[in-house]
Structure 1
């Protein structure tokens, strides 16, 4: 059996489980070149013309069209799986273990700090020693593709993104299901992890003016100032693991002052944001944790649906 035959058979197997697939070259790039000249039409067509050569937009679970696509790319040695499409609405977590990165350890750290369990789910082993985790998202979830934004070793594949399918051959080796994994089990993404994958727009995370922040704290009543200083110090002193838990607890402690009006919410947020990012947490992680903690302390945190 040739590498082309292996890739075709594996692509059909994926399609039988509801995955939309398309052909990849050994470089892990789309195997079929664009049918359009560079320009506006190429950017906007997204396979509406019916021809092959639109990358992930060619992805389908129709077996006849998969055969036709592979016949048009006899050099293909793999296939891509389109993410965020029905029925699974797949989130692909690419956990790199190369060039000093360790996405597996990064995910374990996030699970500890944000109190979720990484579920057993279909997992693909990559030739470089990393893993691709397949998780199901709610149909209404909106999350961006990202490289190292959630954590240095974690890339996220969502809408218009794809993962290299198991059975594919790349330049460094073959992709395959990790030992012990169930190809038919695609577990739901934990809500806490999904929240980390959907950070607010960058503008929603303010840049903290440290000098201005100190001046604002100085003008608070003494006991409020003491509370801000105490909680910020506790956050800065916390080392891994437990940084996010400490940040949440401090936010909840300060949140108890919000209903009385003696503490300005923006000041509490800015104080904790500066302290949290000083520990190495990302601004997105800090904002999510602080907002929930303040709401918990104020008694306005709604339970997860």
Structure 2
């Protein structure tokens, strides 16, 4: 077992992934904490956490794993990875509720994208880890439920248990595609925190004046989204976005006006910010495509 885990750690390191030991048969780091730090060795100049001590050095890996059958942790940030963690329902959860794989698939469907195919690891509990190369231009951190229920991400400040490790005798093992893909742009957009101060100013309608029925439509659709009941919220938001999107195509509304109004209504109804952004992007893109500006005079 120790030899197999050492190979798993070395294999991950060969990919350029920074590894560190986890306690045998657990997910817990096997490295000392700050309160117990001896201030010697790698911590001579101050305590170094697991993320800082994770390594790709094969000599250090062999020396560490020679002591015990440690599970293998991959520090996602230093490794240039973002891992999407699709969790499973806990034993005492309702069996009718969707798991992380289902809610992630629903998110992909709402945004009009296929479920990404990339290197995948099945966890000991039956969940899935989707590995992506992280974008170099932005430093992403961990999220919990931001994309969808039971869907977390691990990047800087996080780690995942590597394939070859075991929890209570159940293995982490690679399944499906072995090729590592870059993080899709649409997922990156959902994970990058919004910066309202950097948003462009709302443009004036191209007509130079507001038509009364446009204002009435905004009020009507915003109210419908805010009042939507659970189970109908996303569908209502999608319909409202498509309805108001035709006014964006005609020039009667700026896209940011619609996004701001419906984003606030969706969040007040109980949807997450990420869900609202994804649904609105899909709805407005569809509506603008299917309502070209040439239809403006006929409206």
How far apart are residue 58 of structure 1 and its match? 1.4
Partners of 1:241 and 1:228 lie apart in 2 by: 17
Q: Pick from 45, 52, 58 the counterpart of residue 57 of structure 1.
A: 52
Q: For residue 27 of structure 1, what is the aligned residue in structure 2?
A: 26
Q: Structure 1's 108 and 243: CA in aligned 2 closer, same or farther, altered over 3 A?
A: farther
Q: For residue 211 of structure 1, what is the aligned residue in structure 2?
A: none
Partners of 2:265 and 2:105 lie apart in 1 by: 23
Q: For residue 182 of structure 2, what is the aligned residue in structure 1?
A: 188
**Secondary structure of the residue that 1:79 maps to in structure 2?**
strand
Partners of 2:100 and 2:282 lie apart in 1 by: 26
Q: How many residues align?
A: 268
Residue 223 (str. 1) matches residue 216 (str. 2): no
- Of 244-253 and 9-18, the range deviating more from structure 2: 244-253
How far apart are residue 245 of structure 1 and its match? 4.5
Residue 81 (str. 1) matches residue 79 (str. 2): no
Q: Structure 1's 27 and 53: CA in aligned 2 closer, same or farther, altered over 3 A?
A: farther
Q: For residue 282 of structure 1, what is the aligned residue in structure 2?
A: 272
How far apart are residue 149 of structure 1 and its match? 2.2
Q: Structure 1's 295 and 122: CA in aligned 2 closer, same or farther, altered over 3 A?
A: closer
1:165-187 CA distance string (max 9 Å, x none): 00112246221112xx243x111
TM-score, with length taken from structure 1: 0.72
Partners of 1:48 and 1:293 lie apart in 2 by: 52
1:64-83 CA distance string (max 9 Å, x none): 12112223xx2343111121
Q: For residue 64 of structure 2, what is the aligned residue in structure 1?
A: 69
TM-score, with length taken from structure 2: 0.73
Q: Pick from 233, 243, 246 the counterpart of residue 253 of structure 1.
A: 246
Q: Structure 1's 117 and 287: CA in aligned 2 closer, same or farther, altered over 3 A?
A: closer
Partners of 1:278 and 1:292 lie apart in 2 by: 20
How far apart are residue 288 of structure 1 and its match? 5.6
Q: Structure 1's 93 and 106: CA in aligned 2 closer, same or farther, altered over 3 A?
A: same
Structure 2: runs of 5 or more not aligned:
199-209, 290-299
Q: CA RMSD in A?
A: 3.9
Q: Structure 1's 13 and 295: CA in aligned 2 closer, same or farther, altered over 3 A?
A: closer
